[in-house]
Amino acid sequence: MANVRLRDIRKSFGTVEVIKGVDLDVADRQLAVVVGPSGCGKSTLLRLIAGLEEITSGDLWIDGERMNDVPPAKRRLAMVFQSYALYPHMSVAENLGFSLKLARVPKETRREKVKEAARILQIEPLLGRKPKELSGGERQRVAIGRAIVRNPRVFLFDEPLSNLDAALRVQMRLEVMRLHDELKATMLYVTHDQVEAMTMADVIIVLNAGTIEQVGTPLDVYHHPRNLFVAGFIGSPRMNFMPATVTSVGEATARLSLPGGAALDVPADPQRLRAGDALSLGARPEHLALSEGGALRGEALVIERLGNVTFVHVSLEDGPMLTVQAASDEPVRVHDRVSVRLGGEDAHLFDGAGLAMPRVPQDHKET
C-alpha cells in the first residue's frame, strides 16, 4: 500500500514562491505523470516529496504517515535522477548495492537482491563495470536498478529519459511501463514531454507555474481540457486556436462568427453565453479537414508528410495559421488555395478567462 497525498503544498526559495498550493492524490500502484513546461516546478515538487528540499508549508503524507520532517532515506522512496547520478568510482554492482550496504544488510542477501534487480533490467553482464564504461541507456538502467533494489514504497522519476536520444527514449519508455506492470509499484514520473505523459500515465497531472491546471486520465485530459493552457500543452501537433464571437444563442447551440466571416454552430449551454461574447475556439488538427466549401479559407504554406499522415499548415485569409490533419496521400501542394471544414461538435470553447465552457447544458453534466 503506497499512496501519496499532498495538501496545499507551498514552496518558496527566498521570496519567490515556486509551488503555489498543490493538492494531489496518487493512489497505490498508479503511474502518475507530472507534466509541464520548463520552470513550472515539477522537479521541485518531486524533490519536495523525496525530501531533498524542505516544504515551506502544507502537508505531505505517504501511506497515511506525515512525512514533512522525515529525512529522505527514511521515507522509503527511491529516486531516478535525470543525470542518473551514479557513483562514478563504484562498479555497477556496488552502485546497486550501496543502499543495502548502508543499511547493513548481510552480504549474501545484498548479492541476491542486486542480481535480481540486474535480471529484471537485463544488465547482468554489466555488473563488474564502472559507470564511465556504460552507454547512456545502460546507465539509465543502472539508475533504475538502484531504485528497485531499495524496494521502495514509491518510485520517483525526475525526467529520466531527457538525456537519451530519440530512439532510445521510445525504447526506455516501454521498459518503464513494463517495469511498472511487473513490479506493481506506485510511480511518480516527471517530464516536460507530453508524449511521454500521454503514453505512460495512468493519471496525468498538468502543472504550470507552480499550480495544477488539471488532473485526469490521458484521454480525459486530451478530450476535455479544462483550460487554454492544458488544451494547448497536451496533444501534438498543438490544438489550433482562433478568436470567435457569439452572434446568436439558441436552445442548445450557439452560432459563432469565425475569422473571415464564416459562421459555425456549436453545442453550448445557453445560460453561459450571450450574443457579443468574445471566445476562443480550439480545434485539434484531426477535427479539421481540407474540403471544398469549408468555412475557413486560406493558403497552404507548409506541408509535412510523415508517411502515415500529413499535416497541412494553412495560413487563413484573415486569421491565424491552422494545422490540418490530412490523409497520407493528400494531393495538396504548397501555395494552393484551400478551404478548411470544422465540425461544431468537435470544437472546444474557452471563455475570456481561458476556462473551457461545457459543451452541453448544465443538467447534462460531464466531468
Partner 1 sequence: MKKALRDKSLFTMAAWPVALVMFFPIFWMLLSGFKTEVEAVSSPPRLVFQPTLENYAAVWQRADYVRHAANSVIISLGSTLLALALALPAAYAMAFFPTRRTKNALLWMLSTKMLPPVGALVPIYLLFRDLGLLDKRLGLLAVYTLVNLPIVVWMLFAFFKDVPREVLEAARMDGAGPAREMLNLLLPLSLPGIASTALLAVILAWNESFWSLNLTAAKAAPLTAFMASFSSPEGLFWAKLSAASTMAIAPIVVFGWLSQRQLVRGLTFGAVK
Partner 2 sequence: MSRRQVPGPDQPAARRLRPISRTLPLKLPSLGVLFLWAVVPLVMTLWFSFQRYNLLNPGERGFARLENYRFLLTDPGLARALINTLLLVGGVLAVTVVGGTLLAVLFDQSFFGRGVARILVIAPFFVMPTVSALIWKNMLMDPVNGVLAFLMRLVGLGPIDWFARAPLAAIVIIVAWQWLPFALLVLLTALQSLDSESREAARLDGAGPIASFLFITLPHLRRAIGVVIMIETIFLLMVFAEIFVTTAGGPGLATTNLAFLIYRFALLDFDIGVASAGGILAIVLANVVAVFLIRSVARNLEA
User: Residues interacting with partner 1, by CB under 8 A?
Assistant: 50-52, 71-73, 77-79, 81-83, 85-89, 98-99, 102-103, 146, 150
Rounded to whole angstroms, how far apart are CA atoms 40 and 46? 12
Among the listed ranges 70-78, 173-181, 268-276, 322-330, the one in contact with partner 2 (CB under 8 A) is 70-78
Closest CA to 256 of 298, 227, 295, 200: 295
**Cell output for 330:** 493528400
Q: Are 265 and 344 in contact (CB under 8 A)?
A: yes
Task: From residue 332, give the alpha-carbon distance in Å to each of 236, 308, 313.
Answer: 22, 16, 11
The residues, ordered by sequence, that sit 6+ positions from 258 with a Cβ below 8 Å of its Cβ are 242, 244, 264, 281, 295, 296, 319
CA angle 327, 331, 332 (to 5 degrees): 100
Pick one of 1, 16, 69, 106: the residue that binds partner 2 (CB under 8 A): 69
Cβ closest to partner 2, residue 71 vs residue 307: 71
Sheet holding 337-342, edge to edge: 288-290, 337-342, 296-305, 310-316, 321-326
Cβ closest to partner 2, residue 69 vs residue 363: 69
Which residue is listed with cell 508549508? 57
Which residue is listed with cell 480550439? 282
Counting contacts by CB under 8 A, is residue 70 touching partner 2? yes
**Residue 241 binds which entry of partner 2, partner 1, none, CB below 5-8 Å type-dependent:** none
Counting contacts by CB under 8 A, is residue 58 touching partner 2? no
What residues between 74 and 93 interact with partner 2 by CB under 8 A? 74
Shortest Cβ distance from residue 89 to partner 1 (Å)? Answer: 5
What residues between 200 and 239 interact with partner 2 by CB under 8 A? none
Query: What binding mask, one character per residue, do residues 3-32 give for partner 2 by CB under 8 A, x or -?
Result: -----------x------------------
Shortest Cβ distance from residue 22 to partner 2 (Å)? Answer: 20
Pick one of 54, 133, 317, 345: the residue that binds partner 2 (CB under 8 A): 54
Shortest Cβ distance from residue 217 to partner 1 (Å)? Answer: 30
Distance of CA 99 to the CA centre of its chain: 31
Taking residue 175's Cβ as centre, other Cβ atoms within 10 Å add up to 17
**Residue 50 binds which entry of partner 2, partner 1, none, CB below 5-8 Å type-dependent:** partner 1
Rounded to whole angstroms, how far apart are CA atoms 275 and 280? 14
What is the DSSP code string of 324-340? EEE-TT----TT-EEEE
Helix and strand numbers, DSSP H then E, in the chain: 8, 20
Shortest Cβ distance from residue 298 to partner 1 (Å)? Answer: 49
Shortest Cβ distance from residue 179 to partner 1 (Å)? Answer: 18
Cβ closest to partner 2, residue 71 vs residue 88: 71
Counting contacts by CB under 8 A, is residue 71 touching partner 2? yes
**Residue 86 binds which entry of partner 1, partner 2, none, CB below 5-8 Å type-dependent:** partner 1
Cβ closest to partner 2, residue 18 vs residue 338: 18
Shortest Cβ distance from residue 165 to partner 1 (Å)? Answer: 21
**Residue 14 binds which entry of partner 1, partner 2, none, CB below 5-8 Å type-dependent:** partner 2
For the CA atoms of 309, 310, 311, 314, the dihedral, rounded to the nearest 10 degrees, stands at -150
Rounded to whole angstroms, how far apart are CA atoms 281 and 273? 14
Cβ closest to partner 1, residue 86 vs residue 340: 86
Rounded to whole angstroms, how far apart are CA atoms 142 and 118? 8
**Residue 77 binds which entry of partner 2, partner 1, none, CB below 5-8 Å type-dependent:** partner 1
Cβ closest to partner 2, residue 56 vs residue 257: 56
Shortest Cβ distance from residue 69 to partner 2 (Å)? Answer: 6
Give the residues lining the site for partner 2 (CB under 8 A). 14, 54, 69-71, 74
